[in-house]
Amino acid sequence: MAVVSTPATLERAVPAMDNAEVLRIRNDFPVLDQLVNGQPLVYLDSGATSQNPLSVIEAEQEFYEQRNAAVHRGAHHLAVEATEAFEDARQTMADFIGADYVETIWTSNATEGLNLLSYALSNAGLWAAQGRGDQALKGLALKPGDEIVVTEMEHHANLIPWQELAFRTGATLRFIPIADDGSLRMDQAAAIIGPRTKVLAFTHASNVLGIINPVQELAALGHDAGALVVLDACQSAPHLPLDVNELDVDFAVFSGHKMLAPTGIGVLYGRQELLDILPPFLTGGSMITTVTMERAEYLPAPQRFEAGTQRISQAIALAAAANYLTETGLDRIHRWEADLGQRMVAGLEGIPGIRVLGPAAGKERIGLAAFDVEGVHAHDVGQFLDSRGIAVRVGHHCAQPLHRRLGLTATTRASAYLYNTTDDVDRFLEAVAGVRAYFRA
């Protein structure tokens, strides 16, 4: 069963969202009810950081008001309640992505999750060389001659940790190139991913191109080669149904602040059998079984990778955010945002001097659009839009190699979420249409 449904399938399966419902949803987001430069705020930067509904804000506040205590470390009433709330949140997030409870690890964000994984893999080589750990650990150790494969569209968070892992282990980093329309060159992917590939890491949905990659096809190529498959789900987990088992990935990461939750919280998913043999990355309290003055033995996952005091209130708030998305319906959210994305792209393509990155109008994409305005720097475009109350992202969006491949240094990106209306998009398009005349480009 496909994880990303087609619009026709969604139309039959669930009632569509409309502007009237979205306006009701907006009432849950207090930050959206304000003027910016004398104009009603149009927030189109959720691809960077989303806003928080009242239920999420209240969940974190309620923890501090009613049960603030360290988890896993006390027998008193508040500590027990805090631990129960913390672990209930873990179960909520496991259910949200179709994982098991023990396969769900708290991190500060997706970047930390990817660094955790890359350092655990390099530690695997150290442990294996010293005869430490499970026999299966040797199969995870990277060495010269091995290859790590990423794609040309990766966010720096899913590129630099693998560059550094290659440096530490002597492995070679390779990448799957993109075509001019932004799609992955799957013909080259099949040639690049091979017997030497030990890790295949790629994004589910590009934060610049808006394109949704063929996860199951890539995962099959990786597993056929015997590689670990790592998914960056930062731009998919907040916006469309995600089932890590159906996608058949070994690891996945995403961040809370992109899916209605606070900053400082994220999730690393990993198959239990892999997590339990990987060495830890951070060490200290709460992740051990026995400690002597000479050595320590470590708990299985998830505690194995959660040293020290945890992000308790943020985890509880992230679970509240997941519940909000689930109750609204991720199928419905995905369909609404896809419609907004199509509206953005079609409108931008109709404005002279605008180049839109990624799939053309009518082709599948998530609800974001990055674009270049001929003769006007992206930072100037962003300031012009801000003067009209419209918040967008400008720069290289932590994807310099991708921009370089497309002959650009920076772009402007508008990204929608479940609280955006068609009027928001139309206000954005009307403002963009006036950029070149304003700057006399």
- 398 given a catalytic annotation: yes
Q: What is the mean pLDDT of the chain?
A: 95
pLDDT band at 11 (very low <50, low <70, confident <90, very high): very low
Q: Give mean pLDDT, residues 269-298.
A: 95
pLDDT tens per residue across span 133-166: 888 899 999 999 999 999 999 999 999 999 999 9
Residue 9 scores a pLDDT above 90: no
Q: How far apart are the first and last CA of the chain?
A: 49
What's the CATH code, domain 7-53+329-435?
A: 3.90.1150.10
What does pTM read for this prediction?
Answer: 0.95
Neighbours of 395 (CB within 10 A): 17
Lowest mean pLDDT among 129-138, 207-216, 359-368: 129-138
Neighbours of 143 (CB within 10 A): 12
pLDDT band at 13 (very low <50, low <70, confident <90, very high): low
- How far is it, in rounded angstroms, from Cα 46 to Cα 49? 5
Residue 7 scores a pLDDT above 60: no
DSSP string, 365-387: --SEEEEEETTB-HHHHHHHHHT
Residue 48: DSSP 8-state: T
Neighbours of 327 (CB within 10 A): 8
Please name the helix (run of DSSP H) or strand (run of DSSP E) that holds residue 8, with its range, or none. helix 7-13
- pLDDT, residue 370, reads 98
Residue 401 scores a pLDDT above 90: yes
Q: Give mean pLDDT, residues 117-145.
A: 92
Q: Which amino acid is present at 412?
A: T
pLDDT tens per residue across span 20-69: 999 999 999 999 999 999 999 999 999 999 999 999 999 999 999 999 99
Closest CA to 161 of 295, 268, 48, 1: 268
The active-site residue, picked from 361, 398, 408, 433, is 398
Instruction: Output 301 or 1, whichever has higher pLDDT.
Output: 301
**Residue 174, C-beta contacts closer than 8 angstroms, at least 6 positions apart:** 147, 148, 149, 150, 192
- How far is it, in rounded angstroms, from Cα 275 to Cα 397? 31
Beta pairing partners, 36? 39
- How far is it, in rounded angstroms, from Cα 217 to Cα 227? 14
- pLDDT, residue 4, reads 44
Helices marked H in 225-329 — which ranges?
244-247, 272-275, 312-328
Give CATH 3.40.640.10 domain extents, the chain: 57-326
CATH class entry, domain 57-326: alpha beta
Residue 407 scores a pLDDT above 70: yes
Q: pLDDT over 70 for what percent of the chain?
A: 97
pLDDT tens per residue across span 257-283: 999 999 999 999 999 999 999 999 999
Give CATH 3.90.1150.10 domain extents, the chain: 7-53+329-435
- How far is it, in rounded angstroms, from Cα 158 to Cα 173? 12
pLDDT band at 15 (very low <50, low <70, confident <90, very high): confident
Instruction: Output 286 or 419, whichever has higher pLDDT.
Output: 419
- pLDDT, residue 12, reads 47
- How far is it, in rounded angstroms, from Cα 123 to Cα 48? 32
Q: Give mean pLDDT, residues 345-363.
A: 97
**In terms of DSSP bridges, do strands 390-391 and 42-43 run parallel, antiparallel, or are they unpaired?**
parallel
**Residue 269, C-beta contacts closer than 8 angstroms, at least 6 positions apart:** 97, 99, 103, 104, 105, 244, 249, 251, 252, 253
